Structures are given as structure tokens and as C-alpha cells.
Amino acid sequence: MSVKTDHDYLRDMLQYAEDAQAVVAGRSEDEMLSDLPFRYALQYCLLVVGEAASEVSDATQEKLPNVPWRQIIGMRNWLVHGYSVIRTETLWETATRDLPALVEEIMNYLPPEHT
């Protein structure tokens, strides 16, 4: 079994951030509220983004200062441990407002062969 590198974790973050964007594409926040599988799919994508972020080394995090590492990892913790008080509007805002910038930051950092 090979050891994952920071590039692997960044690629995971990128993949699941893009997946989350695909989940919400062409949908509305109201649909997310009424469609449980849709909401769970979005939650899972955001959870994996946060889990992968928590594995990225401090050295690499410092090279990406525009990535809100603490908030991303905090969201993962909130989704796992605060599941009973999840604010759906926060999920929606993260997916529609914050993920595009995250995707761009990671794509600009990773060498093309890693995206």
C-alpha cells in the first residue's frame, strides 16, 4: 500500500469539491431542503473535502494561504460531530459561493499532471 502525498490529498479535495459543485448544478437551495439524497450527497462531498484537508501538511498549507484550512476542517468536524444541528443554508453557501475559489486555488497550485 502506498502512502498518500499532499498532492494526493489536494487532488481528493479538488475531486470532491468538483463533485459537490456538480451535485448543486442546476438545482436550488429549496430542492436541497426537500431532497434528502441530494442533501446527503452534498454533505458527504464537503465532509471528504474537509477530511482530505486535515491530512495536508502544514508546509503545504502555508504554500496555499488563500485556502481557509481551519474553516474547511472545521466544517468536516461540524458535519461529523454536529450532525444534529447542520444548517442547510451553510451547506448551500459553501457549495455555491466558496467551492469555486477553492477549486481554482488548488488547480493553480497542482502541476497539470496532478489535476
Residue 77 lies in a domain: yes
What pLDDT digit, counting tens, does each position of 93-114 carry? Answer: 999 999 999 999 999 999 887 6
Residue 114: inside a domain = no
Average pLDDT along the chain: 94
Distance CA 102, CA 115 (A): 14
pLDDT of residue 82: 84
Indicate the pTM of the whole model: 0.92
Residue at 115 is within a domain = no
Does residue 1 lie within any of the structural domains? Answer: no
As a whole number of angstroms, the distance between CA 43 and CA 22 comes to 13
In a domain, 71, yes or no: yes
Model pLDDT for residues 13-46, shown as the tens digit of each residue: 999 999 999 999 999 999 999 999 999 999 999 9
Supply the range of the domain harboring residue 75: 6-109
Specify the number of domains making up the chain: 1
**Which residues lie closer than 8 Å to 38 by C-beta, 6 or more apart?**
23, 27, 31, 32
| pLDDT of 84 over the 90 cut | no
SS3 (DSSP) at 14: helix
